[in-house]
Structure 1
Amino acid sequence: MFLTLILGCSLQLYDQIPCTTSAQCRSFGVGSICSQEPDETEGFCVDATPTDRCYSSYPEHILTEDGADWENHRNDLIIGALFDHQSDLPNVDAVNLATKQIADFGGLESKNFIVIHCSYEDDDNGSLDSLSGEDAVQAAASFLIEDLGAPVVIGPAGSSDSLFAFEIAKREENQSVLISPSATSPSLTDIDGSVKTDDDPGLFWRTIGSDVYQTEVMSQLILETQTLNSENETPQLTVVYQDSAYGRSFQEELKEHLNSLSSDTPFDIYYVPFDNIEDLSISNLIGSTGIVFISSDIFDVTTFLDNVALSEAIIYLADGAADEQLLKFFEGLDSGQQFSARIYGTRPGISSPDFDSFASAYNTFSESQAKDNPYAAYTYDATWMAISGYTWAHFNFIAENPEQTTPQYTGKDIAKGLRHLSSSDSEDIFFYSGWPQIQGILSSKQTVNVSGASSRLNYDLETEELVSHMEIWRIIDLEDNNYCFSTQQVCNAEEGCSLLWTESEASLCD
């Protein structure tokens, strides 16, 4: 186990330069921080070494469990990555893949990109630092943003965790950008202000649309399937939701849609929040013809399903449940096929024609499979967005400061660059295959229309938000307990929605 913050004694390098904040050590380059340790290094600039939560990087040799090697990376461009390393490792691989690909292109002129990874996993058994929830997120975010000075961070994955991390990112002395691949709560739309402009862009971005659209699809799905299966009885729906930023806002949006759709249809609807899945009383769900379960934690999902496996209710799940771990859960059930037939799910859909190209590269690079981890594509896109924002900031800085030989980029500079990645006046260009063209356009301070592995990244610049394609998913047993997600796109971001599930139009997994 690491100490809470282990700092190498690099005083000779900095000639005992005193400091009170790590920002005062940035002139020495990437990796230089102000020691807060109660020893002879306290109050001096030193090299950062691993913490309990931050001990990996890409390239891998820079930060490891055994130490750090910043010497050849002082002028590199740093990107932070903030995920739960117990559940989000497919996302970590996606960040690393994009970073490897930009390295294959030679970086940004003479500068290389590096990624420092931190984990906000809960430490309930005290093997790390005994932190969990908000404390764990902010400890990891502080190392990336306040200590290392990362102007852009990929992640977090969840909505509540994004709120916690943004408290660190938005501070006046930090002003770092967060780009989440999967935080879908509508409550996040205005956390960086309701008015965004080219001169004053927002600091919170995401490569996925908010749950406003997913809840619309789910409400229609519920109405049609419950009406179809009600046998002239009044359907009874119970909405069980995680009492978190994600769960509460999802429930609120869903409730609004259900009230609107069910105004002409008899429907009994009950709402049940929970803090801890272990404390959820299943007896409250008896008699339900349909149960919606909303949580961003896959452990919550599988625990809930295990408890209601004998129920006859139709189960409705959201994007947080569409995880590789859910398939493994069904593989362990004796009656998994019958149970899975009662489950419907919704999630933002992959709509990019370049997904297969990404998946081929990702499946070679990672031990995970892209098709079983859809947020890997969104994370890959978030990383390329960070690279593109850096690129615009780099060339803009050079144009405005021709005498400066060591450009400095802030989160605001990168956010301004992100606003130059959406244009209705040009064709889509995929990040990887079109990078030389994208870089050329950004170098002339022009706007380019980028497309990612997940979708067209066509942002509404008034809100800095995307509208995602939506899909319904089912769990299919191919044979011999080999489960997969079968999907059908039902909402096109430009054309609206059309339900219901049609087997002939579903995309079956391989």
Structure 2
Amino acid sequence: MSCTLTREDVTSCNKNADCRTAFGAGLVCGASGLCERAPPSPRCTTTFPPDLLTRPKNYEGVITIGALMDRSVETQRGREDAIRLATTQVNEERGLDGRPFGIVFCDVAENSQYDSLKRADAAVASARYLADVLGVPAIVGPSASGDTIAVFDAIKEQGVLVISPAASSPALTGHDVATATDQDPGLLWRTATPDTVQGAAIARHLTTSFPTATNVVVVNEKGAYGTALADVFTAAFQKDGRTVRAIPYETASQRDAAIVDAASTKPPFVLFFSSQTADAVAFLNAATSLASYENISFFLTDSAANPDLLSGAAGAASLFPRVVGSRPAVPEGPTFELFKTSYNAAFKKDPGALAFVPHTYDATWLVFYGAAWSLRQEKAVTGIGIARGLRKLSAPGAAEIPITPANWTKVADALGAGTPVNVTGASGKLDYDPVTEETTGAIDIWKISADGKAIESSTTIDPR
């Protein structure tokens, strides 16, 4: 009797990508040099389809995309629903060459049930999980400008495309590449109009609608959103003898002190620029208790244009008639109306009442289009391939193709053949500049309805 001993050769891994290539998503390279299954991130357990990560064999060839939203904010929960809708629709059209799309949603809210991380840190940690453990080629979100920059900087070396539906700070322009080309596109994109447009629109509104308001105060959150918007507004407004006094803040205590200070000179307007709805709520709730604000009007921005402001500041409802603000124009036209109908049917909500929800729907479809270019032109779905595809969606002079499920095959086939197209979205035109990779759009001036229950557009300023 004899026996034969057989030795099994084991190849050590050097990085997580080695394990994903060999065994699929969710495997990481352990300290021993062997691949092991990574523990799930508690922030990233929600998926679409719901069993995407728990039953991966049901989704052979799935193209998984990440999403980063703050689930403590109603508008951002609405943005997650827009991603679900787009993904449902593209999969009903048989996905990309028979491969379905899947989404891993990560909650970036400050929530002790997850951990002790602040929102920006939670966004970065979640993005690293999506990029390094799951190997997603693209991420939709986050929403805040500062968070978006932090996420991009954390994962840019991994070639993941980041597309924000709501980050509007001018600081994003050129943050990736100064001059983008078809060969070397940027990996940082957005469907939101930059605040170079919003800041100028705010100044234009005040100077034309309130010509006697020549000295105003700006209270702004320090950072990519608040500081940049304050700078743009100041440059546009501070002409012909008009003045701006800016009071920046970083912490809640500094914010509260700035609110008190802002009213001390009795300006006709105090403008409040923050990326966080909670800060705008705190501003109104504080102002209603201060006699110094008795004759002052208030100007807020897009982050405040949502139901959370109305519910959170219900105790300050007496101030609502003096509150106005700015936000990207509420879309209109057949592409938006079809999206609105589908969204309302699925979620029983009006997407026009939730800021940047149409922009999120468009951002998700743009990733799908980019993936079609990447797979069919470059034989793999990668972040850089998706970015090259995005540069083919604003063909000058080409007939507009609405972003609808029925047009998925038409757009994907054109891109697969190397033919640029000109898509228009639920949020409006998406005419990306080939150098800056930025789009533009109209700005709405909004007010609070007489009953205090809704945000209403009062006028539209279109820079185009």
Distance 1:46 1:70, change over 3 A: farther
User: 2 CA distance for matches of 1:28 and 1:364?
Assistant: 41
Map 1:46-195 onto structure 2 (within 5 A): 46-63=36-53, 68-87=54-73, 88-123=76-111, 126-171=112-157, 174-195=158-179
Number of positions where the alignment pairs a residue of Structure 1 with one of Structure 2? 445
Distance, in Å, in 2 between the alignment partners of 1:83 and 1:320 is 14
| 1:18 to partner: Cα distance | 3.7
1:324 paired with 2:304, answer no
Contact 1:226/1:289 (8 A) holds in 2: no
Measured against aligned partners, the alpha-carbon deviations of 1:202-225 in whole angstroms (never above 9, x if no partner) come to: 101101110001111101222234
Moved over 3 A (4+): 14-18, 46-49
Matches within 5 A, 1:17-36: 18-28=12-22, 30-36=24-30
For 2:217, the equivalent position in structure 1 comes to 238
**Alignment match, 1:264:** 240
DSSP-derived class of the 1:257 partner: helix
Residue 140 of structure 1 aligns with an amino acid whose one-letter code is S
The CA distance in 2 between the partners of 1:473 and 1:389, in whole Å, is 34
Letter in 2 for 1:283: V
1:491 has 2:461 as partner = yes
- TM-score, normalised to structure 2, is 0.91
Cα separation, partners in 2 of 1:226 and 1:381, compared to 1, 3 Å: same
Cα deviations by residue, 1:372-414 (Å, 9 ceiling, x for unpaired): 21311100000000000000111113xxxxxxxxx43221111
Q: How far did residue 21 of structure 1 move?
A: 1.8
The residue identity in structure 1 corresponding to 2:231 is E
Amino acid paired to 2:324: Y
The aligned residue for residue 285 of structure 1 is 262
In the alignment, the residues of structure 1 paired with residue 268 and residue 356 of structure 2 have an alpha-carbon distance, to the nearest angstrom, of: 31
Cα pair 1:277 1:303 within 8 Å, conserved: no
Letter in 2 for 1:269: V
Aligned residue in 2 for 1:499: none
CA distance in 2, matches of 1:168, 1:62: 25
User: How far, CA to CA, are the matches of 1:277 and 1:102 in structure 2?
Assistant: 43
Kindly provide the CA deviation profile for residues 461-498 of structure 1, in whole angstroms up to 9, marking residues without a partner as x: 11100011111111112x4x5x222214532243xxxx
Q: Does 1:425 align with 2:425?
A: no
Secondary structure of the 2:20 match is helix
Report the CA distance between 1:133 and its aligned residue.
Answer: 3.9
CA distance in 1, matches of 2:102, 2:34: 25
Opposite residue 97 of structure 1, the aligned amino acid is L
Q: CA deviation at 1:30?
A: 4.1
Distance 1:102 1:127 in 2: 34
Shift of 1:141: 0.6
Corresponding residue number in structure 2 for 1:10? none
Q: Distance in 1 between matches of 2:215 and 2:45?
A: 49
Pairing of 1:405-424 with structure 2 (within 5 A): 407-424=379-396
SS of aligned partner of 1:161: helix
Aligned-partner residue type, residue 369 of structure 2: S
RMSD, aligned CA = 2.1
- CA deviations on 1:42-73 (whole Å, 9 max, x unpaired) are 6432344521211111101124xxxx222233
Query: Unaligned stretches of 5+ in structure 2?
Result: 1-7
How is 1:178-257 mapped onto 2 (pairs within 5 angstroms)? 178-228=162-212, 235-257=214-236
What is the CA deviation profile of residues 100-122 of structure 1, one whole-angstrom value per residue up to 9, with x for unaligned ones?
Answer: 00011011112111111112222
Percent of pairs identical after alignment? 29
Q: CA deviation at 1:328?
A: 2.3
Unaligned runs of 5+ in 1: 1-13, 398-406, 495-510
Letter in 2 for 1:288: P
Amino acid at match of 1:486: E
Q: What is the TM-score with the length of structure 1 in the denominator?
A: 0.83
Change (3 A) 1:195 1:374: same
Distance 1:379 1:351, change over 3 A: same
Give the Cα–Cα distance (whole angstroms) in 2 for the partners of residues 225 and 60 of structure 1.
50
Give the superposition deviation at 1:190. 0.6
- Structure 1: distance between partners of 2:15 and 2:363: 29
1:16, CA displacement in angstroms?
Answer: 7.2
Q: 1:415 to 1:319 in 2, by over 3 A?
A: same
Distance 1:15 1:89, change over 3 A: farther
Aligned partner of residue 193 in structure 2, secondary structure = coil
Partner of 2:5: none
The residue identity in structure 2 corresponding to 1:245 is: A
**Does the residue aligned with 2:454 lie in a helix, a strand or coil?**
strand
**Which residue of structure 1 aligns with residue 422 of structure 2?**
449
User: Quick one: which amino acid aligns to residue 471 of structure 1?
Assistant: D
Shift of 1:238: 1.0
- Opposite residue 93 of structure 2, the aligned amino acid is F
d(CA) in 1 for partners of 2:202 and 2:113?
40
Residues 1:420 and 1:255: Cα distance change in structure 2 (over 3 Å) = same
Q: Does structure 1 conserve the Cα–Cα contact (< 8 Å) formed by 2:140 and 2:363? A: yes
Letter aligned with residue 322 of structure 2:
R
Compare the two structures and name the one with the higher helix fraction.
Answer: 2
81-90 or 242-251, which moves further after superposition? 81-90
Q: Which moved more, 1:429-438 or 1:286-295?
A: 429-438
In 2, Cα distance between the equivalents of 1:448 and 1:184? 25
Other-structure match for 1:301: 280
SS at match of 2:18: helix
2:161 touches 2:383 (CA, 8 Å); kept in 1? yes
| Residue identity matched to 1:34 | V
Aligned match of 1:274 = 249
SS in 2 for 1:245: coil
Q: Which moved more, 1:428-437 or 1:89-98?
A: 428-437
Paired AA for residue 350 in structure 1: V
State the 1:17 CA deviation. Answer: 6.1
For 2:234 and 2:309, the matched residues in 1 are separated by 26
Separation in 2, partners of 1:115, 1:47? 20
Cα distance change, pair 137–369 in 1 and its aligned pair in 2 (3 A): same
CA contact (8 A) 1:59 1:115 kept: yes
> What SS does structure 2 have at the residue aligned with 1:299?
helix
